[in-house]
Structure formats: C-alpha cells, structure tokens
C-alpha cells in the first residue's frame, strides 16, 4: 500500500465537516458533484424496477437495454459506431479507469497522465509498480495539452496515455486539432488511450466535445470513460460505463466478474431512463452551471493576487493564487480555518498545480457569492 495515492477531496470534506461540527460555518467548494438531485423520472424508473423485482444479479457487463442505449447515444453524440457488446457498465466512472489500468499496465510500464489531473490515474499506476509520467497542463497555455511536449514524453515503455476533456480540475476542453494530433501520436507509437469523457455533456459557449475514439482508426486503441454521476446528478448511484475495443472485451468482463460481479440492477434501470428519457433537466443544469461559472470567474478576477481563466467545460476553476504570496496548500488550509471556505490545493492534482487552488462551483449562486466575499476578505486581510 506504500505506493498508492488518494483523492484528497474526500479528506478535505472530512476536515471541513469536523470544523462544522464545532459550530463554524463552512462553504463547500471542494467536492466535484452536482448539488442538484437526480431528476424525478430517473428516480421513478429505479423505484419501479425495484418494485418489479429487479433485485437479482445483473448480467456482469450490464443490462442489455442499457448497453444498447449507451451504444446508440455514442453513435448520436460521439459520432462513432459502437456495438452494444463494446459497452461495459461499471460501478462509477472510476471503475472504467481501474479496469483500463489493471488490464493494460504491467510493472515498469509508463503511463502519461495530465498534471494537474484526476489523481487516481497516477495513484493506480504507481500501485501497479508502473511509472506515471506527468504531462504538464499549464494556465499559460490555457490549460491545453502541448502536443509537442507530449510527444517528447513518449518512450518505448509508454503503454497508455490518459486524456480528460473537459478536464478536472481545470475545466479545459481540448480542441479538435489537438485531439487529431494526439491521435496521430497514438497511431505512430502504437499506444492505447484512456479518454475520460465524464464531463462531455457539461460544456459552455458552444464548445464542441470531440471524442478521440471517433477519429479514424482510434476506436481500436481507445477506452472511452463516461458515466451518469455528473451529467444526471447521479453520483450516489455509482454508475459509469466503458466503451472498449473488441480486444479488451474479455478483459473488462473478467475484471468485472473478479471485482464487483456487475453494477446494481435497479440503478441500471434508472440509467436507462436517464439516457433515453427527456434531457431538459440536463440542459437546465448546464445552463445554471454556466451562470455560476461566470459569477465565480468574475468574482475571483476582481480579487488582487488571483487570476482565473474562464473554462469551457466541467464545473471547476483552477485559479492561480501566486499573486497572494501563498502557495495553494497554505492558501487552502488557511482559507478553511480563517474564512470557512473549503477548496482544494492545486497540488492535490499534481505538482504543476503548486500555485493554484481548485474550486468546484457545483453550489448555489448564493453560497458562491458568499464564498467570493469571504475569499476576498481573506486575501485583503492578508
């Protein structure tokens, strides 16, 4: 266990809750989950399934109707042709990344992971005695991948490249041109790609989601990770899915059987309704997130010492707080203790985030406005 990492958001929540238990008011901007409830139609579908007795083991790869619905959704939204047999329903989107790394990575291999990036890619890679290689994602580059830098990191030991667009923690959205260049690299160096697209429906300003798997030849080397947690406010349902190339079907099936046997049956019935039913609530949530993004970005940029880009996706901002003279870790610690606002240090996502904090704006506008007031008073008070 010496080499495994963690996701510090869960620990930060615990610290903030402990502070609240002493009577302090804390605004939670640390956790990456929609504050909305799961839409009623989805909850009703799961309740109906429960009442109808969908309480037994599901087929290990997922309910056939859900796998078909996901395949149709991928055809419509990602413009790629997917057979239902390529789809595996997992416990959370996280299940997809666990299996990708378990299936593909051997000790001594190298995995290129975004820095800053979701910490579990790196953690699991280390756990398997493989080497995570950090691909810097810098604010100065508008949180885009520098494709030349990526190419320079590829060695004969590179097995897998992880990309995540829209990204946690930066909100950055990769351009089609860069995704095409990354695909060309994967082809040239014969690499597999884990494409974490869990925020693919949470986009602003008309930004386009391009799945690398939809580019010519790429479906056979890409694992697409998506799920229900973020898009449909279903974090507690623990449902995600993988779209895998044919040569990985066996591995995904075997790993699911070895670990969880399958994802909760009646929850999957809710997911069928989520993906095939009316999408108006998803659109309303994204519109609201967009308004909150503007509130937070404008508010932060009005504070001396803070610089914040306006990201085109997900529900995070990753401002630089270098101008305050504090590093992200000290800033986050003191902000919680002194001002009652819980954010994450940028280094929770990799070393490149040293002078940054991550804010999740999945909170009410009222709480966000109050948080901005508190952050401003904290920074001005020095």
Site for ligand PLP, rule CB under 6 A = 32, 92-94, 118, 164, 168, 196, 198, 227, 229, 235, 240
Tell me which residue has its CB nearest to ligand PLP: 92
Q: Residue 160, exposed/middle/buried by CB under 10 A (0-12, 13-18, 19+)?
A: buried
Query: Is 113 or 303 the residue whose CB approaches ligand PLP more closely?
Result: 113
For residue 302, the minimal CB distance to ligand PLP (Å) is 28
Q: Which is nearer to ligand PLP, 113 or 215 (CB)?
A: 113
Question: At its nearest, how many Å lie between ligand PLP and the CB of residue 227?
Answer: 4
Q: Least Å distance between CB 196 and ligand PLP?
A: 5
| Residue of 210, 99, 230, 108 whose CA lies nearest to 158 | 108
Longest dimension (CA), the chain: 60
Rank residues 261 and 337 by Cβ distance to ligand PLP and give the closer one: 261
Ramachandran angles phi, psi of 374, nearest 5°: -65, -40
Please give the Cα distance from 71 to 172 (Å, whole number).
Answer: 26
- Token pair listed for 98: 């666990």
Nearer to ligand PLP, 96 or 303 (CB): 96
Report, in Å, the least distance between residue 135 CB and ligand PLP: 15
Phi-psi region of 263 (alpha: psi -120 to 50; beta: other; left: phi over 0): beta
Give the residue with the Cβ less far from ligand PLP, 93 or 299.
93
Paired strand residues for 131: 110
d(CA 366, CA 239): 30
Smallest separation (angstroms) from ligand PLP to the CB of 163: 10
Q: Which is nearer to ligand PLP, 164 or 320 (CB)?
A: 164
Closest CB to ligand PLP among residues 168, 347 = 168
- 32 vs 270 by CB, closer to ligand PLP: 32
> Two tokens at 27?
């605004």
> What span, in angstroms and rounded, lies between the C-alpha atoms of 236 and 250?
28
Angle at 301 between CA 299 and CA 304, to 5 degrees: 110
Under 8 Å between Cβ of 137 and 111? no
Cβ proximity to ligand PLP: between 38 and 168 the closer is 168
Report, in Å, the least distance between residue 108 CB and ligand PLP: 26
The span from the CA of 175 to the CA of 207, in Å, is 9
Q: State the Cα–Cα distance between residues 273 and 252, nearest whole angstrom.
A: 24
Least distance to ligand PLP, CB of residue 215, Å? 21
Q: Is 376 helix (H, G, I), strand (E, B) or coil?
A: helix
The beta strands (E) that lie in the chain are given as: 27-28, 87-90, 110-115, 131-136, 158-164, 192-196, 222-227, 240-243, 316-317, 341-342, 344-345, 357-360
Smallest gap, in angstroms, from Cβ of residue 376 to ligand PLP? 27
Question: How near is the Cβ of 125 to ligand PLP at its closest, in Å?
Answer: 15
């Amino acid at each position: 266990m010496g080499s495994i990492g963690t996701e510090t958001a869960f620990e930060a929540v615990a610290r903030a809750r402990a502070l609240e238990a002493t009577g302090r008011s804390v605004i939670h901007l640390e956790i990456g989950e929609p504050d909305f409830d799961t839409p009623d139609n989805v909850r009703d579908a799961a309740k109906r399934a429960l009442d109808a007795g969908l309480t037994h083991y599901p087929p290990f790869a997922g309910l056939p109707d859900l796998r078909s619905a996901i395949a149709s959704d991928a055809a419509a939204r990602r413009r790629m042709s997917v057979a239902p047999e390529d789809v595996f329903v997992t416990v959370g989107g996280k299940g997809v990344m666990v299996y990708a790394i378990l299936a593909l990575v051997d000790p001594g291999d190298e995995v290129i992971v975004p820095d800053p990036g979701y910490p579990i890619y790196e953690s699991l890679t280390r756990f398997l005695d493989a080497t995570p290689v950090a691909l810097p994602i810098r604010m100065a580059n508008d949180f885009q991948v520098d494709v030349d830098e990526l190419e320079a990191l590829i060695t004969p030991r590179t097995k897998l490249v992880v990309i995540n667009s829209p990204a946690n923690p930066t909100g950055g959205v990769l351009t089609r041109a860069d995704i095409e260049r990354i695909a060309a690299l994967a082809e040239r160096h014969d690499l597999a790609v884990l494409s974490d697209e869990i925020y693919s429906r949470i986009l602003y300003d008309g930004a386009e989601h391009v799945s690398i798997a939809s580019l010519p030849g790429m479906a056979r080397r890409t694992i697409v990770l998506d799920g229900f947690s973020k898009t449909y406010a279903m974090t507690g349902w623990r449902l995600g899915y993988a779209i895998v190339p044919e040569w990985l079907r066996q591995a995904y099936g075997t790993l699911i059987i070895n670990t969880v046997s399958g994802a909760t049956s009646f929850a999957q019935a809710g997911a069928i309704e989520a993906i095939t039913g009316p999408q108006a609530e998803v659109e309303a949530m994204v519109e609201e997130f967009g308004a909150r993004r503007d509130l937070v970005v404008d508010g932060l940029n009005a504070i001396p010492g803070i610089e914040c880009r306006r990201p085109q996706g997900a529900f995070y901002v990753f401002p630089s707080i270098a101008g305050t003279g504090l590093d992200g870790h000290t800033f986050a610690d003191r902000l919680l203790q002194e001002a009652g606002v819980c954010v994450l240090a940028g280094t929770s996502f990799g070393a490149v985030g040293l002078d940054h904090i991550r804010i999740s704006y999945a909170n009410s506008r009222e709480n966000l406005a109050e948080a901005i007031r508190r952050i401003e008073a904290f920074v001005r008070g020095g």
